């Protein structure tokens, strides 16, 4: 049976998934028997010493990312995120093979979930319905104990963490960021912004996420987060110093329009550190990770000065991120405790600024939607909201059917919008299937 879904429009601006992609590797070199080759089949990091190593300048593109996304700590600096000493919360299972579930893809093409998982270079995929694991698959050598890079799904995790500080009064959304970061006083782009504008990415700054443009701000941004090695220009400066150099866009005031720019989340990470008085990884562990009952410690990449890449650097297992997403679905309550204020989850879901969304191309897909606290909110008929990262990382939450879906992928092109949207179509169809 083909389950009903709403009609996504293919016309999504590339910025909606964080960056512009680079050319894909030759398909003949990366495919076998109609599926992507695994990292092992590609021979990446095999041998002693390995004959094929990862290129630090392009580790996040195909085919190197088939290996790299599951081995971040082997070539980037990371901070550990302790799970604490408590027992893991068991995930109950009610398995149902969703592989054959059909849905409509692009151009009205009928696909199964299994076909989507192959086409979108899936590494791990899990579906929770009412808290139970319904469907769980691993590919490309990934296992339940393997950590995987979240890319910009990290932004939504960071925005959720900020809510704890807002709730206890240590971070005021209406305040100027200079109240917490005096180093931003006089900064051309961020010097006159508020915490709320950073949270919702309505800062009016000059920041391009076009990875194909060597002069784009995001290219320098990556270097300052230590994602391109020590010899990259600006690598020694660090991401916080870089944030103080961002220019203001004179064409509109702050707060008027949603403009996706990853540097906002790193400024939010800085605000979190100043408001909490702790380093980012330590505060995340104390406030959320050690309370969830996760199976494993997490990781987050850090720059050469130790600042966390809050915008894209979380490295977590599939099941543990599913626990986090279930906590969000359950209004911040999990493992018999209120971890994040229910008011903050309500703020994410209901208090966004649609007028800031309307001038952008995002409104072509979700006309009533908005971006709030680093989450995308569709305002569809099921109240779906989601997190997304380049190369196919996803959290999809459907409150109506109480469904959580997490997807890890290693798409060879960063902003492969067709395959990223295909993932959304499938996840929407899966979550809606539970209402039948």
**Residues belonging to the active site:** 152
| Residues 18, 190, 315, 351, CA torsion sign | negative
Q: Are 6 and 428 in contact (CB under 8 A)?
A: yes
Nearest-angstrom CA–CA distance, 60 and 68? 7
Rounded Cα–Cα distance for residues 223 and 96 (Å): 44
Question: Measured in whole angstroms, how far is the alpha carbon of residue 205 from the centre of its chain?
Answer: 21
User: Which residues, other chains included, contact 32 with Cβ-Cβ below 8 Å and sequence gap of 6+?
Assistant: 41
Q: How many CA atoms lie within 13 A of 185 on its CB side?
A: 6
CA dihedral sign, ordered 265, 267, 270, 271: negative
Residue 306 tokens, joined: 């130790």
How far apart, in whole angstroms, are the C-alpha atoms of residue 256 and residue 223?
29
Contact 344, 160 (CB under 8 A): yes
CA–CA separation, 103 and 357 (whole Å): 28
272, 161 Cβ separation under 8 angstroms: yes
């Amino acid at each position: 049976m083909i389950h009903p879904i709403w009609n996504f429009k293919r016309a999504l601006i590339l910025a909606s998934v964080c960056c512009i992609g680079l050319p894909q590797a030759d398909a003949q070199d990366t495919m076998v028997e109609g599926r992507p080759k695994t990292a092992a089949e590609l021979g990446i990091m095999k041998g002693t010493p390995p004959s094929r190593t990862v290129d630090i300048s392009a580790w996040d593109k195909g085919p190197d990312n088939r290996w790299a996304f599951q081995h971040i700590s082997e070539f980037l600096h990371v901070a550990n995120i302790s799970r604490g000493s408590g027992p893991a919360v068991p995930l109950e299972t009610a398995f149902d093979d969703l592989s054959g579930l059909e849905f409509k893809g692009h151009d009205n093409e009928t696909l199964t979930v299994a076909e989507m998982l192959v086409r979108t270079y899936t590494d791990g995929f899990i579906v929770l319905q009412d808290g139970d694991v319904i469907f769980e698959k691993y590919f490309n050598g990934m296992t339940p104990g393997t950590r995987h890079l979240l890319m910009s799904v990290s932004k939504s995790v960071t925005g959720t963490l900020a809510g704890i500080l807002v709730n206890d009064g240590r971070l005021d959304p209406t305040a100027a960021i200079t109240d917490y970061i005096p180093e931003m006083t006089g900064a051309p782009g961020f010097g006159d912004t508020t915490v709320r504008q950073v949270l919702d990415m309505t800062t009016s700054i000059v920041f391009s996420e076009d990875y194909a443009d060597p002069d784009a701000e995001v290219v320098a941004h990556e270097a300052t987060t230590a994602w391109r090695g020590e010899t990259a220009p600006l690598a020694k400066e660090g991401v916080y110093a870089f944030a103080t150099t961002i220019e203001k866009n004179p064409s509109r005031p702050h707060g008027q329009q949603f403009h996706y720019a990853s540097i906002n989340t790193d400024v939010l990470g800085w605000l979190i550190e100043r408001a909490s008085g702790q380093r980012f990884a330590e505060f995340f562990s104390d406030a959320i990770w050690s309370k969830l009952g996760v199976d494993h410690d997490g990781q987050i990449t850090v720059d050469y000065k130790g600042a966390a890449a809050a915008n894209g650097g979380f490295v977590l297992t599939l099941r543990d991120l599913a626990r986090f997403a279930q906590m969000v679905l359950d209004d911040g309550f999990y493992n018999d405790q209120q971890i994040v204020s229910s008011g903050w989850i309500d703020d994410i879901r209901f208090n966004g600024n649609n007028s800031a969304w309307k001038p952008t191309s995002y409104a072509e897909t979700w006309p009533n939607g908005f971006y709030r606290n680093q989450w995308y909110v569709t305002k569809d008929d099921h109240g779906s909201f989601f997190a997304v990262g380049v190369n196919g990382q996803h959290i999809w939450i459907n409150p109506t059917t109480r469904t959580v879906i997490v997807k890890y992928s290693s798409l060879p092109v960063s902003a492969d919008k067709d395959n990223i949207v295909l993932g959304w179509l499938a996840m929407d169809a899966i979550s809606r299937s539970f209402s039948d």
